[in-house]
Amino acid sequence: MKQLLLATTLCMGLLSGCAATAPVFSGQNDGGVQHPAPPTASYFIANRDLLAAETKWRQNKPAYYSYTLQRSCFCSPEFRQPMAIEVSGSTVTKATLQADQTPLPLARRTDAISMEGLFDIIHKAVDSKAARIDVKYDEHYGYPLSVSVDQSVQIADEEMYYTASEFKVMTKAKPKAKKTVKKTVKKSNKK
């Protein structure tokens, strides 16, 4: 009897462990509630939501915009500081640390990404079949408001979180006025 109870307990433990490692996704249509689903269906839903949001972004994307990007991870505090980012087209034109408005250090320039960069992070997570992907998209523009990626439930502290906030449409920056230098030309007095 004890052996049967032990075997049943072990089987239940194994089955519950398998269910706990199933990929979990959250799409824009479910209000952000995470729901487990079979892997193929989950990746299909995540990819479908991603493509719909990207299409909306391409249709509504302003030529110039700014936003604040905050990355959260199990990394040093300087990598978790919010960044104020300005973008022209798909190119980051300015990135500053929001707390003190100092330019982003050269070693961190690749951390300042456009919305296309956030979409790339989501694509990589879907393509690599990450264990958990949780994304919320802006309803009007389609850009990612928050991105949470856990590549493996078996690995601790490798999760990455990105939050995009304070999105603003900008007008084209005015070019700096050119300084005009008057040149004086001496007339030669030739006779």
Percentage of residues in the chain with pLDDT exceeding 70? 62
Range with top average pLDDT, 11-15, 18-22, 77-81: 77-81
Q: How many CB atoms lie within 10 A of CB 104?
A: 19
pLDDT of amino acid 186: 58
The verdict on pTM exceeding 0.85 is: no
Residue owning tokens 């790339």: 120
Domain definitions of the chain by residue range? 22-169
What does the pLDDT average to over 173-184?
Answer: 51
What's the per-residue H, E or C state across 96-155?
EECCCCEECCHHHHHHCCCHHHHHHHHHHHHHCCCCEEEEEECCCCCCEEEEEEECCCCC
Kindly report, residue by residue over 134-158, the tens digit of the pLDDT: 899 999 999 999 998 887 776 666 6
Kindly report, residue by residue over 57-94, the tens digit of the pLDDT: 999 999 999 999 988 766 665 666 889 999 999 999 99
